[in-house]
Amino acid sequence: MKKNNSLRYIISSIIVLSLIWVGNSGYFNGLLLSLGAVSVAFVVFMTYRLGIVDEESQPLHVSRRIIVYWLWLLKTLVQSNITVIKRIWLGPNSINPVVARIPTSQKTEMGQTIYANSITLTPGTTTLDIDGDTLIVYALSYEGISYLQGGEMDRRVSRLEE
């Protein structure tokens, strides 16, 4: 790990682990805060020394853009939920299951994983497999597949990797 990246790793790890510690304990007395600080320092030191954290396991470059992506994904999830509910109300004739191959433009396995998981989180679609630079996706209807073939989700996930 490069020196600049290791400092970023240490700082972000301390912040995240401290927030988790305080959030889970809910107490702010001196003893618990000092035990938390010792625990956080020990975990950060050990993971750094063991070299078990790399760019894929702590993607700091994604962290800056992830909030915007989550907000967009939340909007997409709500819209997909409404679409699935409409199809349920309309009955079995409105559901035409489709399996298709969707090309991906992600450069890393992490990017492909985020894309595949985003598809699976979206109601009415499920990623069945990743085959090289292609996802095999099941959808309740052709409209779900055509949305993915439009590439908006793919482009947004690719922007996370930049």
- pLDDT tens digits for range 65-109: 788 899 999 999 999 999 999 999 998 898 999 999 999 999 888
Q: According to the model, what pLDDT value does residue 48 have?
A: 82
Out of 38, 58, 78, a domain closes at: 58
Diameter over CA atoms, the chain: 63
When divided into structural domains, the chain yields a total of 2
The domain of 45 spans 3-58
For residue 126, the SS3 value is strand
Whole-prediction pTM: 0.69
The confidence score (pLDDT) of residue 5 equals 62
pLDDT beneath 50, residues of the chain: 1
Clarify whether residues 75 and 43 are in a common domain: no
- DSSP secondary structure code for residue 56 in this structure: T
Phi, psi (deg, nearest 5) at residue 105: -115, 10
pLDDT for res 106: 92
- At 51 the pLDDT is 78
14 and 67 housed in the same domain:
no
